[in-house]
Structure 1
Amino acid sequence: MLNFGPHLGSGRIKKFFGNISFVVLLNLLVKPGWVVVENLVQDRLGHAAFGTFTALFNWTLIVASVSDLGTTQLTTKRVAANPQFLSEYFPTLLPLKGWLSVLFLGLMVGSGWLLGYHGHTLTLLALTGASLLVMQYTQFLRGTLQAHQRFNTDAVLSVLEKALLLVLVLALIPVGITLDRYVGARAVAVLFTFVVLYGLVTRLYGRVRFRLKWEHARNLLQASLPLALITLVYGLNERVDMLMLERLASPAEAGYYAAAYRWVDAVMMYLWTVLPLFFAKFAFVTGKREEQQELLWFGQRVVTVPLLFVCAFVLFRGEVLFWQFTHSTGPELERMTLSLKILFVNVLVHAFFAIYSTLLTSTNHEKPVSWLVAGSIGLNVVLNVFLLPRYGALAAALNTLLCVVFVSGGYLWLVQRRAGVAVPWATIGRLLLAFGLLCGVFWGLQQLFNHWLLEAVGGGLAFVAILFGTGIVRVAELKALRR
């Protein structure tokens, strides 16, 4: 593709690229600081205690994501295609989501009791679950902003919760961090963010009077069911490892995995921040195959390029990310580092192929995607049952990698066969070449300097040259963006 396609145009790409840049900038200002603070929290609480919290948190994430029943993605798609959907269906959607949240909170606590959590641990599960259900409602409201292409406003709100939580946790450090205080701080941050967003949406679109119409509710739930299934399988696919580790291996193994996965989560936030923008854009051009293809080819580079550098650095210098764990032993640090490196190969695969899932789910191909991810979950659970008790966190990391390779291959097949959109194989090939050259640069710098900071700076400068040399970034495109 020479520069930008005729349907997207440099002007529209420039505006959309500006939205993406603003979102990423805000996340870079907040999210790295949060990762450092959470490392400190885990170091103070200990691997076993934090492993227990992580298992609780991931179980509530799974159930909370299901409670949405696909209504967030459905609303984003429908409002992007037809703004009248908001005024017609929101009087039903808002109370419906409230009752679903109450129902799923009960299911969450009951299922936690069946899993073996009792007493004070069950209370922590309930508080964590209630917070996540409120956060799920917040994400639903943010979907309306995305559908109206208010990406910059949505970007500010996307970091508000983490920024507030960062302040609250730092305030707890002088008085002492306990698990109860940590969970309470998360609840306060989530509730405050919800109140701010609800007030903003009310001001932008007017106050909505709740009128639960069962016919509308039934139609909405029928339409959102495929998206709900995808949400369920994605939630299980990403979060079941932590829960199974804590139950089948030990809380300490779950803590090691959590320490490694935290960095994965931090880096993957780039994807989970950028891909919803592409989801809204793909939904906006539903039925326009040429525009979808141009958007996909543009997105392939936007999504993949930044993660190539991060993955290469972690593969060569991942151990420096655990500098805060002063209370951990040498073998514990080695276990966390190896888990981290395996998980970042998983990030690399996501960097190349996650956008294909976004294209499929935003253009009415939810069912085949859900079956594909469900197969990945089955494979993951079987591998976990056999390998986690013996190999712990390392097995969880490897199983995750095998499953993401399986599901990514399916995405490519579905995009070509079902969506009818051409895969940019030449661009993928250039990106793979760039990553290989970058790894070679890191290896050479490691032999020459053996200092992570010098290697990172040298690798970054070399990466810029590699991007231009391989044709991934072109001078003509940069000039078009400046105009």
Structure 2
Amino acid sequence: MLAKEASFNVIMNREFAGNAVLIVVLNLVVKSFYLFGIDRTVQNLLPEGEYGLYFTLFNFAFIFQIISDFGLQNFNARNLSQSRHLLQKYFPHLLTIKLLLGAAFTVVTVLLGYWWGFRSTGVWVLLLIICVNQFLQTLVLFLRSNLAGLGLYRLDSWASVLDKSLLVIIAGVLLWGPGLRTHFTIIWFVLAQTGAYVITIFLLLWYLRPRLGQLRLRWRGAQVQSLLRQSAPYALVVFLMTAYTRLDAVMIEKLLPNGAVEADRYASAFRLLDASNIAGYLLAGLLLPMFARQLKTTTSIVPLTRLAISTMWTGAISLSISVIWFAVPIMTSLYTNGDSYSGAILQWLMLTFIPMSGGYVYGTLLTANASLRPMNWVFVAGIFINVILNLLLIPRYGALGAAQATFITQSLTFLAQLALAKHLLQLPFAPALLLRLMLLSGLLVALGYYLNTHLLSVPLFVKFSACICAGILGAFALKLLDLKSWWSWLRPQ
């Protein structure tokens, strides 16, 4: 029995390691190019404040995006990974529910936007298209959850960059096509997103079609009601978590007289946090079906949990500390309006990345364990704390205050998730792991200080790369990452 469990753990670790490398590399290449090659170019090209308005509307719609998903993605990934034969039975019902929820999300969000104050025709149309895009994005994620639930992790890794790859091509033509750049508008940008999502959805449906049997929409009241009731707790978790991570941008625009401009500054710094979160978000999606399968088979989750948190925090600590030391030159080199103020915003947001990355592991573990009620209370508290902090800090410090509120909120909610996971799943305390993480942090702080004060003539790229490389090498030296184990997981079998 023990030998069987050990063998299963090796298989899960190998699956995680191999697909983690693939999914991170693919997304760092494609999505980083999108964020800094396309998205950043759009912000620099448009008049100051126009992208800030888009960013505000995007986050406003994102808060209510859960209406279009209603937890179906996490519910489907978890249950399909445990009972893969249910695909043909549930998919037609889930797809029907998905389309109806998408329509409800669009109507509700547009009406709430009008009530909030987004009433001019141009803003209203922009919000409407953003709502459609966010529904299409959740539909892509729902289709991908079927790949992950079926154990097609490698294919899901490739599918994770499909929409952004298409968007890079479409938006790239609009930005750099002959005679098009001078006429570029924010509407072009959101319509390019629409096209990329639609093509991705058709390609995913085409691949899944042979596994679905007779594909058609189905509506059985009792079945739909049962599925909604089972997915509702997942929906509440996602909604609450989204609310306290996206309220800041909306509150900046509402609380400040120059809200659109301040939101523009916040968006420019948030883009780097968004890029950093690519790996964490994708690895969380990879971990969910793996954790769920281990819990279903009563296999120990400790080895995979430690592998995941060591990997997440090695990357998060190395990247965050490196960016914090060079935040101002990074912002001034990336943006036409970059300065020390936007650099300070970036420092607080990148500090936030450390607790956020920990939350990706322990929050995913709690979700796989269906420990949703206690998590919901944590996120309710997170929303309350975030709103209070934003009301206190934004009027006084502007977008910088929102970044500080985000760091405090994310840190407290992560600690609560960690405590819950240890209590509910009897996870052992790992003081040696904590000590090694602290040593890695100290090493990078010292190196960053030396590079920032003694090597002023060295190019930014060289110093930044030195910090990142030192973090990775330090992680191997401190046994946070074990080279022999990773090689055994990654080498062809």
Q: TM-score, normalised by structure 1?
A: 0.94
* Pairing 1:217–2:217 present: no
* Pairing 1:396–2:402 present: yes
Superposed CA RMSD in Å reads 1.9
Pairing partner for 1:153 from 152, 155, 178? 155
- Deviation string for 1:298-332 (max 9, x for gaps)? 1111222122221121111122333455642xxx5
The match for 1:21 is 21
2-side partners of 1:10 and 1:167: how far apart? 39
Structure 2 residue identity aligned to 1:392: G
CA contact (8 A) 1:415 1:423 kept: no
CA contact (8 A) 2:314 2:471 kept: no
- Deviation string for 1:92-141 (max 9, x for gaps)? 11111111111121111111110111212101101110111111111111
* Pairing 1:231–2:238 present: yes
* Pairing 1:82–2:83 present: yes
CA contact (8 A) 1:8 1:295 kept: no
Which sections of structure 2, spanning at least 5 residues, go unmatched? none
- Deviation string for 1:258-305 (max 9, x for gaps)? 000011001101101111111110111125555212211111112221
CA contact (8 A) 1:257 1:336 kept: yes
- Please give the secondary structure, in 1, of the residue aligned with 2:151: coil
- Please give the secondary structure, in 1, of the residue aligned with 2:304: helix
Pairing partner for 2:466 from 458, 464, 473? 458
Question: How far does residue 252 in structure 1 lie from its aligned partner after superposition?
Answer: 0.5
- Please give the secondary structure, in 2, of the residue aligned with 1:139: helix
Pairing partner for 1:381 from 364, 383, 387? 387
Structure 2 residue identity aligned to 1:381: V
Pairing partner for 1:291 from 300, 304, 307? 300
The match for 2:438 is 432
Which sections of structure 1, spanning at least 5 residues, go unmatched? none
Q: What is the 5 A alignment of 1:289-368?
A: 290-323=299-332, 327-328=336-337, 333-368=339-374
The match for 1:131 is 133
For these two proteins, the number of residue pairs brought into alignment is 476
* Pairing 1:276–2:285 present: yes
CA contact (8 A) 2:291 2:368 kept: yes
CA contact (8 A) 2:30 2:161 kept: yes
2-side partners of 1:432 and 1:352: how far apart? 15
Structure 1 window deviating more from structure 2 (179-188 vs 10-19): it is: 10-19
- Compared with structure 1, are the counterparts of its residues 418 and 320 closer, same or farther at alpha carbon in structure 2 (3 Å cutoff)? same
2-side partners of 1:457 and 1:123: how far apart? 43
CA contact (8 A) 1:66 1:231 kept: no
Pairing partner for 2:146 from 130, 144, 147? 144
2-side partners of 1:55 and 1:256: how far apart? 12
Structure 1 residue identity aligned to 2:313: T
- Compared with structure 1, are the counterparts of its residues 15 and 225 closer, same or farther at alpha carbon in structure 2 (3 Å cutoff)? closer
The match for 1:247 is 254
- Deviation string for 1:416-471 (max 9, x for gaps)? 22222224342132122112112212222233322322323433443344223322
Structure 2 residue identity aligned to 1:145: L
- Compared with structure 1, are the counterparts of its residues 475 and 186 closer, same or farther at alpha carbon in structure 2 (3 Å cutoff)? closer
Pairing partner for 1:197 from 204, 214, 225? 204
Structure 2 residue identity aligned to 1:220: L
Question: How far does residue 84 in structure 1 lie from its aligned partner after superposition?
Answer: 2.5
2-side partners of 1:10 and 1:476: how far apart? 13
Pairing partner for 1:469 from 447, 463, 477? 477
2-side partners of 1:203 and 1:112: how far apart? 41
- Taking every aligned residue pair, what percent have the same amino acid on both sides? 24
Structure 2 residue identity aligned to 1:274: L
Question: How far does residue 396 in structure 1 lie from its aligned partner after superposition?
Answer: 0.5
Question: How far does residue 222 in structure 1 lie from its aligned partner after superposition?
Answer: 1.1
CA contact (8 A) 2:26 2:161 kept: yes
- Please give the secondary structure, in 2, of the residue aligned with 1:285: helix
2-side partners of 1:202 and 1:267: how far apart? 34
- Please give the secondary structure, in 1, of the residue aligned with 2:341: helix
CA contact (8 A) 1:65 1:231 kept: yes
2-side partners of 1:10 and 1:479: how far apart? 13
- Compared with structure 1, are the counterparts of its residues 314 and 457 closer, same or farther at alpha carbon in structure 2 (3 Å cutoff)? closer
1-side partners of 2:483 and 2:335: how far apart? 46
Structure 1 window deviating more from structure 2 (198-207 vs 223-232): it is: 198-207
Q: TM-score, normalised by structure 2?
A: 0.92
* Pairing 1:411–2:417 present: yes
Structure 1 window deviating more from structure 2 (28-37 vs 165-174): it is: 165-174
- Compared with structure 1, are the counterparts of its residues 109 and 9 closer, same or farther at alpha carbon in structure 2 (3 Å cutoff)? closer
CA contact (8 A) 1:438 1:463 kept: yes
CA contact (8 A) 1:289 1:421 kept: no
CA contact (8 A) 2:281 2:360 kept: no
- Deviation string for 1:317-369 (max 9, x for gaps)? 122333455642xxx52221100000111001223343111100111101111
Question: How far does residue 7 in structure 1 lie from its aligned partner after superposition?
Answer: 4.9
Structure 1 window deviating more from structure 2 (10-19 vs 414-423): it is: 10-19
The match for 1:480 is 488
Question: How far does residue 226 in structure 1 lie from its aligned partner after superposition?
Answer: 1.1
Q: What is the 5 A alignment of 1:22-101?
A: 22-36=22-36, 37-101=38-102
CA contact (8 A) 1:343 1:400 kept: yes
Structure 1 window deviating more from structure 2 (439-448 vs 130-139): it is: 439-448
Question: How far does residue 201 in structure 1 lie from its aligned partner after superposition?
Answer: 1.6
2-side partners of 1:111 and 1:9: how far apart? 48
Structure 2 residue identity aligned to 1:79: L
2-side partners of 1:125 and 1:460: how far apart? 39
- Compared with structure 1, are the counterparts of its residues 103 and 326 closer, same or farther at alpha carbon in structure 2 (3 Å cutoff)? closer
- Please give the secondary structure, in 2, of the residue aligned with 1:291: coil
- Compared with structure 1, are the counterparts of its residues 245 and 363 closer, same or farther at alpha carbon in structure 2 (3 Å cutoff)? same
- Deviation string for 1:14-52 (max 9, x for gaps)? 233111111111112211111212111111113311111
- Compared with structure 1, are the counterparts of its residues 369 and 358 closer, same or farther at alpha carbon in structure 2 (3 Å cutoff)? same
CA contact (8 A) 1:350 1:404 kept: yes
* Pairing 1:121–2:123 present: yes
Structure 1 window deviating more from structure 2 (165-174 vs 359-368): it is: 165-174
1-side partners of 2:397 and 2:72: how far apart? 39
The match for 1:182 is 189
- Please give the secondary structure, in 2, of the residue aligned with 1:173: helix
